[in-house]
Chain A
Amino acid sequence: MTDFSRLGVAAIRDGVANGEFKAVEVAEALNTRVAAAKALNAFIVETPEMAVAAAQAVDADRAAGKPLGKMAGVPIGMKDLFCTEGVQTTAASHMLEGFVPTYESTVSANLWKAGAGMLGKLNLDQFAMGSSNETSYFGNVISPWRRNDGGNAALAPGGSSGGSSSAIAARLCPAATGTDTGGSIRQPAAFVGISGIKPTYGRCSRWGIVAFASSLDQAGPMARDVRDCAIMLEAMAGFDPKDPTSLDLPVPAWEAGLNSDLKGKRIGIPREYRLDGIDEDIAKMWDNGIAWLKDAGAEIVDISLPHTKYALPAYYIIAPAEASSNLARFDGVRFGLRDLPEGAGLQDMYAATRAAGFGEEVRRRIMIGTYVLSAGFYDAYYTQAQKVRALIARDFENAWASCDLILAPTTPSAAFGLGEKNADPLSMYLNDVFAVPASLAGLPAMSVPGGLDKQGLPLGLQIIGKALDEQAVLNAGLAIEERSGFTAEAGEWW
């Protein structure tokens, strides 16, 4: 009997289409795996009946000879930042506990239209703010990976899409949605040895995704290989008139365009990413990546992105500034938590509701954002950060004169243990140092597995492309995937 947990998106889609197995069999097998993996805490809500219902619809369509969608019969996990009609949507916050939207986000609706089914809503860092999943109100997700030191230290699955990364690595689902504001798809993908792509800003509609930082938020797929990412991105992307920043462009046939022959492509290696004291394993993996791409026919060039060191500070001004305003709507008036102490007035209600509803990291970022937008500080922080953002975008523009893609590590280190970094927010923020520049510039960027470190933990290689050139990014990812021989998996300890 087929072990459906070992099949990816393409394999399930093709198997269902060819009649090798029924979509319902896949859904039921994965429902069982989800239900048995509570120890990972990857799901906030499980929706086995929805996975089955979607699968039944696909099976019925196939039986009736109707054309099947791009994701027909593929059960997936949905990051709990996407509003789903009739299913609790929390952003992993107490603030939205019990909130059941009457509407479906554009991206999730696109996936259902393509024939995917929902296994459940995946845990994440609260309001997508975090790099370890430790800020979730519903408890942190645990990575299925363990260090090879024989210890049982629980490791971070990365964040904010940590439920997504953990569930895919643990083979609870072949793919899941993620959102990336400053690395929230790429960093968790790197931490658990899977692939994930953040497309060009505007490719995927933001409508119905609980907003963190509007000018940076972008949805994307996470899966176990590059092809699966390409398939799922095709299903997710597309112009949406309900999102004013949505790009009015046709969705390319990325899967059909996959080609790992990189002849004629120039790969830029940014010297500023080679930080002093760079992790030895990371440096080695990066060198391997360079060798693989060369082997695939690409030319390697040295490039400079001179403003890289200002990216992280700029990001931690812009993202909190937008968040402080985006999260103002959680006020206890119309939906979500309301804390109305006896005899309280409106202001008291705001204070009590927001103090009780938001976790510490969310409150910290609201405070930072409020501060940097305040009269007297606005120019010194926000305006300055926007200038830096423009310079970072220009760095990339200049780089494209001499290269077509950029290769860098996804993160400065492998996954850390839960609790190791949360005492010091700054060291946590440093995790995003390689991910943030592409976010600020709105460029497509992908993480693919690059190898294991000395502790036996996965590391990710990041490919950054020109705006709208997801195809080149996916192709380089495929070239790496074909050469890295990355087959490592987490042991099934749960």
Chain B
Amino acid sequence: MPSLKVNGRVYDVPGSADAPLLFALRNDLKLNGPKFGCGLSQCGACLVLVDGQPVRSCVTSAGAVEGQEITTLEGLGTLENPSRLQKAFMTEEAAMQCGYCINGVILRAKALLDQNPKPSEGEVRLALDGNLCRCGAQNRMVRAVLRASREP
């Protein structure tokens, strides 16, 4: 029974330590941010931050991240009090179509901005290259990340 520190709180999750972190987060902790996309570390929908670094939770076992700080989309902000990055995705210019990939995109962008607060467009694009979007909203997401980077 792994013990996970998620968004600042510690939880004992009932599954096996070998089970994917994604299922512990979604099914046991009932978090909606990380998404199942491929289970193969190919699409980025399941991204979470572990000690600030982007990690694909579909191929990471829950036991492997015990004791580390796990941040999910919910940990960035709430409906009532969204983070600047989340706010930048909610403007008149929709930064998505369906939004299924948005969890991974926002968390990958968060890791980028934490490391490089004023990235160029090319740097944002490169950082997001491992996140797949099928709706074709890539340019809108890049603009949203750049908008967030300009906010104080």
The answer to whether A binds B is no
Interface residues of A (CB under 8 A from B): none
Interface residues of B (CB under 8 A from A): none
